Chain A
Amino acid sequence: MSEFDTNIPTTFDPFAEANAEDSGAGTKEYVHVRVQQRNGRKSLTTVQGLKKEYSYSKILKDLKKEFCCNGTVVEDPELGQVIQLQGDQRKNVSTFLVQARIVKKENIKIHGF
Chain B
Amino acid sequence: MADEAQIDVKEEVPDIAPFDPTKKKKKKKTTVVDLDDDSVDKLAEKTENLSVSEGFDSTLAGAKKKKKKPVDISNLIDESVDAKNEDLDDLAEEDDQDAVSLQPRYPWEGSDRDYQYEELLGRVFNILRENNPELAGDRRRTVMRPPQVLREGTKKTVFVNFMDLCKTMHRQPDHVMAFLLAELGTSGSLDGQQRLVVKGRFAPKNFEGILRRYVNEYVICLGCKSPDTILSKENRLFFLRCEKCGSGRSVAQIKAGFVARVGRRTAGGT
Contacts and interface: CB of A to CB of B under 8 A. Distances in A.
Contact of B257 (A39, A74, A79): A79
Given A113-B207, A113-B209, A113-B210, A37 B185 contact: yes
Residues of A contacting B: mostly: strand
A113 B259 CA distance: 15
Nearest to A84: B260
Contact of A36 (B203, B206, B209, B259): B259
A94 interface: no
B260 A113 contact: no
Interface in B178-200: 182-186, 200
Contacts of A32: 257-258
A36 B202 CA distance: 11
Given A111-B183, A112-B184, A34 B257 contact: yes
B263 interface: yes
Contacts of A60: none
Interface string A37-55: 1110000101010000000
A79 B201 CA distance: 27
Contacts of A82: 258, 260
A68 B209 CA distance: 28
Contacts of A48: 257-258
Nearest to A72: B260
Nearest to B207: A113
Counting chain A residues whose Cβ lies within 8 A of the other chain, the interface size class is 10 to 19
Residues of B contacting A: mostly: loop
Given A74-B260, A79-B258, A113-B202, A37 B186 contact: yes
B135 interface: no
Contacts of A112: 183-185
A32 B203 CA distance: 22
Nearest to B200: A37
A1 B168 CA distance: 67
Contacts of A84: 260
A37 B203 CA distance: 13
A44 B260 contact: yes
Interface of A: 32, 34-39, 44, 46, 48, 74, 76, 79, 82, 84, 111-113
Given A111-B185, A112-B185, 5 more contacts: A37-B201, A44-B262, A79-B258, A82-B258, A111-B257
